[in-house]
């Protein structure tokens, strides 16, 4: 993943809540492959699920890629970053 990918904004799909402390939901990409990356660009996992449990991951910023489009996403204790 490169820097230009991380800045892509898309109205076609939504990630919420953002920030989150337990799960996040991807809307409008049902059945599509979703990939979660850390800030170093390492792939943490991929799934076709639309509700993703983030409790196993460290708090911080992540990138979610769906069909080549990338959004920033925050994992925090209280929904704040």
Residue 40 contacts by C-beta under 8 Å, 6 or more apart in sequence? Answer: none
Peptide bond between residue 40 and the one before it cis (omega within 30 degrees of 0): no
Instruction: Specify the higher pLDDT residue, 5 or 53.
Output: 53
Per-residue model confidence as pLDDT tens digits over 60-81: 999 999 988 898 888 776 544 4
Please tell me the pTM assigned to this model.
0.73
The encoded tokens of residue 13 equal 């799909």
Domains, the chain, ranges and CATH?
3-75 (2.60.40)
Per-residue model confidence as pLDDT tens digits over 15-36: 888 888 888 888 888 888 999 9
């Amino acid at each position: 993943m490169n820097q230009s990918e991380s800045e892509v904004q898309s109205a076609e799909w939504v990630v919420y809540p953002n920030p989150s402390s337990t799960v996040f939901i991807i809307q409008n990409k049902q059945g599509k492959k979703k990939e979660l990356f850390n800030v170093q660009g390492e792939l943490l996992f991929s799934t076709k699920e639309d509700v993703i449990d983030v409790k196993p991951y460290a708090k911080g910023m992540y990138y979610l890629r769906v069909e080549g489009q990338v959004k920033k996403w925050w994992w925090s204790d209280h929904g704040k970053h």
